[in-house]
Structure 1
Amino acid sequence: MAHSQSNRFKKAEDHPDVSYLKSDAVGKVLSKALGQLYKHQPSNPLHFLGNWLINYASLTKNKEISKKKAEETIRLKQKYENAIQDMIKQQEKSAEEAAKKFQKENDFRTKIESTLDVDDLLTEFANHLKEELDCTGVYIGILEKIKRPITDLDGEFAHVDDSAPDHIRYIAASAGHEFMIDKTLKEDEGEITYSIWKEEEAEVDKPESEDGDHEKVVEKKAKFAYVPDVVNNPKIKFFDVPKLGAYFATPLTYKSCLSESSFDTAVDDALDCRRRRADQELEREKKSEDNKTYREGEENPEEEEKVWEDIQEAPYVTTDIKLVVCVDTMGKDCEISEEKRNYVIQWVEFFKSQWERAEDESLRHDVSVYMKQHDLDLQNLQDKQGEWVENERVAIDERLADLEAGASEETKELETAIVLLNLYRDRLLEKYVVDQFYSYKEFKFLKYSRVIQLVLYYFGVPKAQIVEPGTNRLNWKLAKKALNDDFLNTLKHINPCGPKPPKPPAYAMTKKLQNDLSNISFDDVQHYSFPLSLLYSFLDQLLKVRILDVSNRRRDYNNKQEERENAIKLAEELAEKRKNALLDAKERHEKDEENLEEGVEKTPFNEAEFLAEFDERESNQVVEIPPEVVPDEDGDIGWDE
C-alpha cells in the first residue's frame, strides 16, 4: 500500500514527442526566438520570426563550419609539426648514418694508411666495397703467368715458365663469394675483363701556352669494363649459375719494389750515396782548411762560391703488378650506376697508392736495417774467425783424445762432425745472433730465405704452411710465423743421431735437403747475412752428422749381418764335414768287420764315441752363430742412398 502511494508522487516520464520539443535543438531555439519576438514586437511577427530562425540557422551553421575549420587547422598544424619533427628525425638519422658511414670509411682509410701489410687487407677491401655498393659480390684477381706443374722434388723456381700465357687468378673475395678464390680466367674466356689492360687514346687540352693557344694532345688512359646485362652478353664467363645483373671491372696496377733486384739495386745505390757523401765531406773539410791558411783580410784567389750537391738515393726499381677489381649484381637484376662505378675507381686509386707507399716504406726500412747490420756482420766475422778456428781445433783434439784406442776412422769422423755441430749450435744461439736473426722477421723481403725454408723442412714444418700455392718457393710472410719459441727450442735440442723411423715427405728427405743446400752459395749468404750464414753452417753440419750416423749404423749392421752369415756358413760346412766323417767311419768299420776271421766276435760301431772324438778336435769346434740383426729404421734416408 505504501509502495503504490509513493508512486503517485513520482514525476511521470515525458512523451517522446514532448521530449523532442523540449530538446535544445527545438525548445531552446524557439524560446530564444519568442524572446526576441517579444523584445522587438515587430509589425509582422511571422516574417520577423522566420527571418530570425533563418539567420539563427545560418549563424549556427557558420559556427559549426568555423569550429571544423579551427579543428582542421589545429589538426593540419599538428600534422605539419609532426611532419617537421619526422623530417628532423629523418635528417638526424640520415646525418647520423652519414656520419657513421663517413667514420667507417675514414677508419678503413686510416687502417690502410697506417699499415705496411696493405695486401693483407684485400679481402676486407672487397667486403667494404660490397657493403657500400649494395652489390652481390666483389672479387680481386691477379694477372700472372700460368705456372708449370711441379712435384715435391722440384726446385723453388720450377714453376716458372716465361713462355706460358697469362691468366687471372682470383686471390680475394667478399663474403659469399669465397668460391672464387683460386679460380682462374684465361684471356680467351674473359675478353671483357682483359680489355681493361688495353690502353685507349684520348684527346685532352694541353695547358694554355704563353701566346694563349690551346693545343690538343693525345694521352693514354686505362680502360674499365662495364656490362649492364651479363645474361645477354656471350663474352661473359660464369663461375656459378647464370643470373640477371651487371658486371664491372677496373684495373688495380701498382708498382712493386719488393724484389731481389730492387733490394740489390737499392743497397748498391745506398752504398754509393754513402761513399759520395763521405767524399763530399772530406772535400768540405779540405776547402775549409785551405781558407784558414790565408791571413785575415786577405782573399783566397781560388776561393769560389761552390754549390754542394744534395746527394739523394735514386727511386727504387719497380715492376708493374696487375690486378683487377670486379663487382657484380648478379641475382639482383640491377645495373651499377655511374656514381657507384666512380666510387670503386676512386677507392682502387687510393688502395693502389697506399700499396705503393707501404712497399716503398718497407724496402726503405729493410735497406736501412740491412746496412747497419751488414757493418756489424763484417766486424763480427772479422773478430770471430780466428777464435773460432782455434776453438774447433781444441774441441776436436779433446774429443778424439777421449775415444778408445783403435777407434775406427768412421767413428772419428762422426765424433768430429758432432763436435763441430755443437759448436755451430752454440754460435747460432748466442743472444746477439738470435736477436739479429729475429730482426729479419720485420723484413718484407729477405734474400736467401731458402736456407730458412730447408731448416723448417728438417724440423717437420709442412710445405703447405710456408710456400706460395702451386710452387716450391717460400712465402716469407707465412714462414715468419714459424720462427717462434718452438723453432728456437727445436734448434737447441735437435739430435740428428739415432734411429728415426718416420718417413718425411720427399722434399724433406735428408739427402734432398743436403743437395738443395749445396745449390746455395755459402759465400753469398755470408756476405749478405752473418746470422743466416751461421744457420747455413748449422744445417749443413746437421745433415752431415745425420748422414754419417746413418752410414755408420748401417755399416755396423752390414758387418754384423755378414759376420752372422759367415758363421752360419761355417756351421753348415762343419755339420756337413761331421756328417761325412761319420759316414766314412761307419763304412770303414763295416769293411773291417767283414775282413775278420771266422769265430771272431764282431763289435758294433760306437757312433757317440766317434762324434765326441770328432768334436774334441780343435779344428772341429762348434761355431757360435751371432743373434739375428735387426736394422735401424731411418725413414729420412733410403737404403739406395
Structure 2
Amino acid sequence: MDYLTQDEVGGIVAKGLAALYLERPQFPIDYLAKWLLTYSELLKKQKTREERQHVKETKIKEFKVLTEQLAYLQEESLRLENLQKEKHEQFLESIKQAKYHDEFLGDVFCDYVAKRFRVNTYVCELDFPKKEIDLNQEDDENAHINLEGTKLLTYIYADQNSKFLVGQTLLPETGVTYDALKEPQPDENGEVVQTNGIYVEDVVKEPRIVYHKWPKLGAYNAIPLIYQSCLYEQSFDQGIEQRSQYLILKENQDKERSAKEAEFEERLESEDPAIIEQEKQAYLASLEPLLEPSFAQQKKEYVFCIDTLGQDRQIPENHRTEILDLVNLLIKQWELQEIQSMKADVELQLHYQSNLGAPFKEILENWALEEEQYIDSHSEKLAEFKENEKLLSYETDCLRLERLREKLSDKEFIQPLLNLSNCRIIKFNTIIQAGLYLIGANKIDINLPDTNRLNIRKLVLDENLIQQIVAYNHKGPKPEPQYKWCYVDRVQKRVEKIEQEQVDAYNLILGRLLKFLQLTCKLRKLDIEIRRENIANKRKQIEQLKEEASKLLEQKEQALKEHKEQLSPEELEEFNQEEWEVNFDSEHPMPEIPENPADEIDDDYIIEPPQQ
C-alpha cells in the first residue's frame, strides 16, 4: 500500500482519473493510457529542462569562479611583473651606486643574471698566473704573481651553482673563451665589425668547448668585459701634475678675463655701449675653453660567461641582448665610478698641499730644528753617556723617538694622514702595513687573500690605529712568540727600502710615521745588543771576581803558611788560627760575587752573528 500511495504512483494515477472524469471520453481506457504516456513525456521534458537549467546555473557559477580566478591571476601576474620590474630597476640603480664594482660583479651581478635568465654565470680574468707563496718567508707584495709567465684566463667569480669553477684556469688558446677577447679582424671589404662575444648554440657540436666537470647539453655565451681603469699610482701622480697645471691655466685665464671685462666697463663711460658689447662678445668667443685633463688608463680584461649546460636549451636572442646591455652598463658605471674616485683623491691631495702653508722641505727643516732643541733640553741626561759613544747615540735617538711619538699622538697633527682613510689610492701603504706587522698583525687579517698586498678597503685608518703603532715599546725582552713577518728585522728591511723624501713629498705625516718605524727598528736592535753586552759584561765581571776570590784564597793560605813557619814550637801551640783568619779577612775582604744573570729572550728580532 505504501508503494501505491507514493506521489510518483498513486498521485499521478489520481490526476489521470480526475482528467478522465472531467473529459468522460468514449474510450476511457485508451484515454487514460494516452494521458499517462503524455504526462510521462511532459515529466521527462521538465526533468530535462531542470537538468539543463541546473547545468546552466552550474556553468554560470563555474564561469564566475573562473572569471574571478582569472582576474586574480591577471592581477597577481601584473603584481609580480611590477615587482620584477621594480627589482630590476633597483638592480640597475645598484650598478650605478656600487662603490667597488669588482666586488659587485662577484657578489651580486652573477647571481642576479643567473636567477633572472635561468642560466649559469661565471667570470674569468685575463692576467698573469698566480702562484702560491709562503707567507712566513715572502714579504714582496708581487710575490704571488708570476710576471714572467703568459697571461691566463682564471675564473674569479661565479654564481652559487658554479662556485666550483673559481680558481681554475684555462690554458692559453684553449677553448673558445679566449676568442671573446680577440681584436675583431677586418672583413673582405676592410671594414672592422665589432662583435658581442662568442655564442655557441649547441656545445656538443663545438669540439673546442672545455668541460670542467663532465659534458652536458646546452648553449654557451662568452661576453667580453673590458674596461679602462685609472685607479693606479702612476695615473694618480700624473693626475696631480695635470690638475695643478690646469688650475694654474684656469686662474690665469680668469684673471685675464676679469681684467678685460673691467677694461670694457671702464670704456662704457666714453664710448658707444653697442660697440663695446660687440667687442666684449667677440673677445669672450675668442677664448679657448679649458678642458679638464683626463686620467691615464690601463686596460682590464674579463669575460662574462653564461651557459645552459644540463638544461639542453639555447639562450634566446632577446636574453643575450639584455645580458649584453647589463654588462655594458656595468662597464660604463665601473669606469665612471673610478674616474669619480680618482677625482676625489686628486682633489684631496691638492687641498692638502695648498693647506701646508710652506714648501714641505721648509716644514721638515723647522721640525728638525724643534727636534734638536728638544734634545738640547735633555743635555744633562745625555751627559751621563759621553764616555760611551754607542750609548750616547742610543739615548739621543731614544729622545728623537720620544719626540716623534708625542707628535704622532696628537690627533690634530696626524689629521692629514687620517684624511686618506676614504681614498682609493694610498701611496706607500706598505708603511702602514709595516706598522701593523710591528704590533703583531696577522697577514690573513689585513692583506688581500693569499698575497702580501695590504687590503686598503678593509683598512681602518683612524687615530686608534696610529696610537697602537706609536705605543710600541722597543725596550726590554720580548719572550712572546711572534709571526715571522712581525720580526723587527724583517719590518726594518721593508721600511729601509722606502725613500723618505718621496713619502714626505706625498704626505708629511706618513713620512713621520715612516721615520718612527725606521728609528724604532734601529733602536730595537740596539736595545737588544746593549742588553746582551750588559749581560756579557756582568758575566765577565763575575768571572773576574771569582778569579780575585781564588787568588785571595791562595794568598791567604800562603800567608798562613809563612806565618806558621815564623812561629816557635811554643808559639805554634798557642797560635789561634781562627782569630788569625778573622784578622786576615778583615784586612783582605773577599769580593761579593752576584748570581749569574739569565739570558733575556728576544723572540722578535733575529740578529745575524758577526762574520768571522
1:533 maps to 2:521: no
Match status 1:198 vs 2:182: yes
With 245-254 and 298-307 compared, the bigger mean Cα shift is at 298-307
- Give the corresponding residue for 2:114: 130
Matched with 1:271 is 244
1:210 match = none
- d(CA) in 2 for partners of 1:487 and 1:398? 30
| Structure 1 residue 476: Cα displacement | 1.7
Which residue matches 1:207?
none
2:193 aligned counterpart, secondary structure:
strand
Assess if the C-alpha contact under 8 Å between 1:224 and 1:249 holds in 2: yes
Would the aligned equivalents of 1:166 and 1:186 in 2 still touch at CA under 8 Å?
Answer: no
Contact 2:360–2:505 under 8 Å retained in 1: no
1:126 deviates by: 2.3
1:281 alignment partner AA: D
1:75 deviation in Å?
1.0
- The separation in 1 between residues aligned to 2:190 and 2:45, in whole angstroms, is 77
1:335 counterpart = 2:313:
yes
Partner of residue 34 from structure 1, selected from 17, 21, 39 = 17
The size of the alignment, in residue pairs, is: 598
Give 1:459's aligned residue: 439
What letter corresponds to residue 46 of structure 2 in structure 1?
Answer: K
Matches of 1:531 and 1:134, distance apart in 2: 53
Q: Distance in 2 between matches of 1:166 and 1:231?
A: 28
Aligned to 2:90: 107
CA contact (8 A) 2:196 2:324 kept: no
Q: Is the 8 A contact 1:564 1:628 kept in 2?
A: yes
| Structure 1, unaligned runs of 5 or more | 1-13, 205-214, 593-599
Are the aligned partners of 2:121 and 2:304 in contact in 1 as well (CA < 8 Å)?
yes
Q: Give a deviation string over 1:366-385, Cα, whole Å, max 9, x none.
A: 11111111212353847744
Asked if 1:633 is matched to 2:601, the reply is yes
| Displacement of 1:194 | 2.6
Q: Quote the offset at 1:252 in angstroms.
A: 2.3
Q: 1:43 to 1:406 in 2, by over 3 A?
A: closer
The one of 413, 426, 433 equivalent to 1:446 is 426
Who is 2:43 aligned against? 60
**What is the RMSD computed on CA atoms of the aligned residues?**
4.0
Contact 1:615 1:622 in 2 (8 A): no
Paired position in structure 1 for 2:150: 165
**In 2, Cα distance between equivalents of 1:242 and 1:576:** 96
Deviation at 1:623, TM superposition (A): 5.7
What is the CA distance between 1:363 and its match in structure 2?
0.8
Instruction: Point out where structure 2 has 5 or more consecutive residues left out of the alignment.
Output: none
Q: CA deviation at 1:525?
A: 1.1
* 2:394 equivalent to 1:411: no
Given that residues 478 and 602 in structure 2 are in contact (C-alpha distance below 8 angstroms), is that contact kept between their aligned partners in structure 1? yes
Q: Secondary structure at the match of 1:476?
A: coil
Q: In 2, distance between residues paired with 1:469 and 1:566?
A: 57
1:281 maps to 254
Instruction: Name the SS of the counterpart of 1:379 in structure 2.
Output: coil
1:396 aligns with 2:375: yes
Cα deviation, residue 255, structure 1: 1.8
Gap change, CA 1:236 and 1:216, over 3 Å in 2: closer
Q: 1:454–1:513: 8 Å Cα contact kept in structure 2?
A: yes
Q: What SS is found at the alignment partner of 2:598?
A: coil
1:490 aligns with 2:463: no
- 1:510 lines up with 2:496 in the alignment: no
CA distance in 2, matches of 1:353, 1:393: 55
Q: Show the 5 A alignment for 1:53-452.
A: 53-121=36-104, 122-135=106-119, 137-147=120-130, 150-151=133-134, 152-175=137-160, 177-181=162-166, 183-187=167-171, 191-200=175-184, 217-226=191-200, 228=202, 235-238=209-212, 247-288=220-261, 291=264, 296-297=270-271, 305=283, 306-328=285-307, 332-338=310-316, 339-377=318-356, 379=358, 381=360, 384-385=363-364, 387-403=366-382, 405=384, 407=386, 408-452=388-432
Residue 450 of structure 2 corresponds to residue 473 of structure 1: no
SS at match of 1:555: helix
| CA distance in 2: counterparts of 1:536 and 1:406, whole angstroms | 28
The CA deviation string for residues 402-422 of structure 1, in whole angstroms up to 9 with x for no partner, is 356455333322222122112
2:530 aligned partner:
552
Contact 2:382 2:396 in 1 (8 A): no
TM-score, normalised by the number of residues in structure 2: 0.84
Q: Secondary structure at the match of 1:313?
A: coil
Q: In the aligned structure 2, how far is the partner of 1:30 from the partner of 1:139?
A: 87
Range 301-310 or range 26-35, more displaced: 301-310
CA distance in 2, matches of 1:635, 1:447: 31
- How far is the alpha carbon of 1:628 from its aligned partner? 0.9
Aligned equivalents of 2:161, 2:238: Cα separation in 1: 43
**1:582-602 alpha-carbon deviations (Å, 9 max, x no partner):** 99989x99xx9xxxxxxx99x
Q: Aligned in 2, Cα 1:633/1:336: closer, same or farther, shift over 3 Å?
A: farther
1:150-184 C-alpha deviation (Å, 9 max, x unpaired): 44344223444433122333333333554444x12
- Contact kept in structure 1, 2:201 and 2:315, CA below 8 Å: no
Contact conserved, 2:218 with 2:308, CA < 8 A, in 1? yes
> Which residue identity lines up with residue 352 of structure 1 in the other structure?
I
8 Å CA contact 2:431–2:514 kept in 1: the answer is yes
Return the offset for 1:635: 1.7
Residue identity in the other structure for 1:173: A
Judge conservation of contact 2:122–2:304 (CA < 8 Å) in 1. yes
Q: Secondary structure at the match of 2:286?
A: coil
Q: Indicate the SS of the match to 1:219.
A: coil
Change over 3 Å in CA distance of 1:287–1:309 after alignment to 2: same
User: Which secondary structure does the structure 1 equivalent of 2:356 belong to?
Assistant: helix
Separation in 2, partners of 1:385, 1:337: 65
Does structure 1 retain, via aligned residues, the 8 Å contact 2:489–2:606? no
Query: Which whole-Å CA distance do the structure 1 matches of 2:586 and 2:8 have between them?
Result: 160
Give the letter aligned to residue 601 of structure 2.
E
Native 8 Å contact 2:20 2:28 kept in 1 = yes
- Tell whether the 8 Å contact from 1:421 to 1:542 is kept in structure 2 after alignment: yes
Cross-structure match for 1:7: none
Q: SS where residue 294 of structure 2 aligns?
A: coil
Paired residues of 1:514 and 1:543 also in contact (CA < 8 A): yes
User: Could you tell me how far apart the structure 2 residues matched to 1:423 and 1:404 are?
Assistant: 19
